[in-house]
Amino acid sequence: NAGVTQTPKFQVLKTGQSMTLQCAQDMNHEYMSWYRQDPGMGLRLIHYSVGAGITDQGEVPNGYNVSRSTTEDFPLRLLSAAPSQTSVYFCASSSDSYEQYFGPGTRLTVT
């Protein structure tokens, strides 16, 4: 049982480049979410999904797109990377009402 997996672990992008952060879970959880963590800011919700085919914006959605075509996968797309998107990104999943299971995180640097 792998839990929540994220790839890549580290990424360096140039300003303006696009990329997709991958997230997958094997626990059949309906709820999945993406957070970014910046020093002093805690975890801020970017986008979330309550099931396949359904996505919604969180607190800081600008500059990011998501889709949820399957229960297992919830990729996060950076359309045109900016230095302000330098952060650690966490993907998480959960069942109906209990704890979220977090992936190990992706450390992204945009130069």
- From 35, 64, 74, 89, residue interacting with other proteins (rule: CB under 8 A): 35
The verdict on 3 binding other proteins (CB under 8 A) reads no
Q: Least distance to other proteins from the beta carbon of 77, Å?
A: 21
What SS3 class is residue 85?
Answer: helix
The verdict on 94 binding other proteins (CB under 8 A) reads yes
β-sheet with 76-78: strand ranges across? 4-7, 19-25, 76-78, 64-66
Question: What six digits make up the tokens of 70?
Answer: 């399957």
**Whether the Cβ atoms of residue 39 and residue 49 lie closer than 8 Å to each other:** no
The verdict on 41 binding other proteins (CB under 8 A) reads yes
Query: Looking at 12-20, 35-43, 67-75, 79-87, which segment touches other proteins (CB under 8 A)?
Result: 35-43
| Nearest alpha carbon to residue 71 among 9, 18, 4, 20 | 4
Q: Which residue, 31 or 75, has its beta carbon nearer to other proteins?
A: 31
By CB under 8 A, the residues from 5 to 34 that bind other proteins are 31, 33
